[in-house]
Amino acid sequence: MATAYAQVNPNLLRWARERADLTLAMLAKKLHTTEDNVDAWESGAKPITMRKAIELAEKTYVPFGFLFLHEQPKETLPIPDLRTVDSEPVRKPSAELRKVVQTTLTKQAWYKDYALEQAHSPLPFVGRFTTTTPVATIVDDMRQVLGVPPHPTRGSWEDYHKALIARIEAVGVLVIRQGHLGHHTKPLSVSEFRGFAIADPIAPVIFINLSDAPVARLFTLIHELAHIWIGQSGVSDGADTSHRQEEVLCNAVAAEFLVPGEEFRALWQPAEDWKENLGPLEAHFHVSQWVLARRALTLKFITADDYHRFIAWLKQQYDERERTGSGPSYYVTLKSQTSERLARAVLSETASGHVLLRDAGQLLGMKPDKIATFAKGYER
């Protein structure tokens, strides 16, 4: 049988590799071939087989059809890019960020169709306010909708985080958490983005980058929830230096929601080392020390240098634990990352025969033969 070759544009093979931030050696390893072969494909000196071209497109997160274009396409994120560095727009989005946004939009579109078929009504809180609405008004409304007090009175910040995710899902928002695009792929970059929101009135979505330290994810969760409340979709980096109006507002909402300013001011004690406040405050507010340090910064109890040194130390502690610790099982990890609302809908439609196992696997991010075992975690 004759070998099938792909009549692709060699220049776009190089573009796809560079877009994915891969060297010749890195791509060659992913494709189980040699650097010389990759170099020859990119120069046009050697044709690439159809199978390898399809594999290359998958490994570089490029739509296969793009490789046949006459010139490289102009790409933009399908949702607004709200990230900034020193008040300037950041570099173009990585292939991984584009892929994770597109994958999430695919899940969101499926769930929206499902919700409409189930006659779900638009959620009244999506876009209820604007960027000019007072912070306190938004925070009060969020607490009322979610049914939560200003802060918990017992339990750890991890418990609070889980409880908030459950309540956010219960009111109709999908919460998706992911730290990479799959096994044997590099972690999603925290410096590039911490999360994003899709403010759709039928199927709103919050995405949290799990490559970030756990202590920081709670703030990101509420920051993105604020985006839902003001009806502003977008990718965020959670920077404390951002001057974009919507980012400043969502940071302020997250801070006040998690740590009410008036209460924080009353409890803060002057000390030789400001960090002596963190233990008592953590016991009172039941949020992480990362959140408390950020609140101390916004209320001007500490300097930006104090804050960034402390955050760097927390990140170092997290990285060391990640290197030495063992993680939970495959199914426990997958369930913790998957929106429960989305998972239950997909599993229900699969069980009724409306969704193929193959399609369910794509929506849930697993192989079809894993779905039956995964579904047992939702039995009740």
What pLDDT, on a 0 to 100 scale, did the predictor assign at position 331?
62
Q: Answer with the residue of higher pLDDT: 362 or 166.
A: 166
Residue with tokens 């060659």: 28
Q: Model-level pTM?
A: 0.82
Q: Rounded CA gap, 358 and 361, in Å?
A: 5
Q: What is the mean pLDDT of residues 333-350?
A: 87
Coil, helix or strand for 178? strand
What pLDDT, on a 0 to 100 scale, did the predictor assign at position 322?
67
Q: DSSP E strands: which ranges in the chain? A: 5-6, 48-49, 84-85, 88-89, 174-178, 195-198, 205-209, 234-236
Q: In this prediction, what percent of the chain has a pLDDT beyond 90?
A: 60
List the structure tokens of 116. 């409409």
Hey, how many other C-beta atoms are within 10 angstroms of the C-beta on 21? 13
Domains of the chain listed by start with CATH number: 5-67 (1.10.260.40), 84-317 (no CATH), 330-376 (no CATH)
Q: What angle is formed at CA 177 by the lines to CA 172 and CA 178, rounded to 5 degrees?
A: 150
Q: Answer with the residue of higher pLDDT: 117 or 238.
A: 117
Q: Rounded CA gap, 97 and 78, in Å?
A: 11
Half-sphere exposure of 118 (CA within 13 A, CB side): 13
The string over 299-313, giving b where at least 16 C-beta atoms fall within 10 Å of a residue's C-beta and e elsewhere, is eebbeeeebeebbee
Q: Do 173 and 228 form a contact (C-beta atoms < 8 A)?
A: yes
DSSP state of 210: T
List the structure tokens of 28. 């060659």
Per-residue pLDDT tens for 253-306?
999 999 999 999 999 999 889 999 999 999 899 899 999 999 999 999 999 999
Q: What is the mean pLDDT of residues 189-202?
A: 92
Q: What angle is formed at CA 365 by the lines to CA 363 and CA 366, rounded to 5 degrees?
A: 115
Inform me whether the pLDDT recorded for 87 exceeds 50.
no
What pLDDT, on a 0 to 100 scale, did the predictor assign at position 339?
92
Q: Answer with the residue of higher pLDDT: 378 or 97.
A: 97
Among 338, 333, 364, 335, CA closest to 349: 364
DSSP secondary structure of 348-375: HHHHTTSS-HHHHHHHHTS-GGGHHHHH
What pLDDT, on a 0 to 100 scale, did the predictor assign at position 327?
55
- Sort 102 into a burial class: Cβ within 10 Å, 0-12 / 13-18 / 19+: middle
What pLDDT, on a 0 to 100 scale, did the predictor assign at position 264?
95
Q: Long-range contacts of range 43-52, CB-CB < 8 Å, 24 or more positions apart?
A: 43/10, 44/10, 47/5, 47/6, 48/5, 48/6, 48/8, 48/13, 49/3, 49/4, 49/5, 49/6, 50/4, 50/5, 50/6, 51/4, 52/6
Residue with tokens 């970059």: 189
Q: 86: pLDDT confidence band, cut at 50, 70 and 90? A: very low
Report phi then psi at 126, rounded to 5: -70, 115
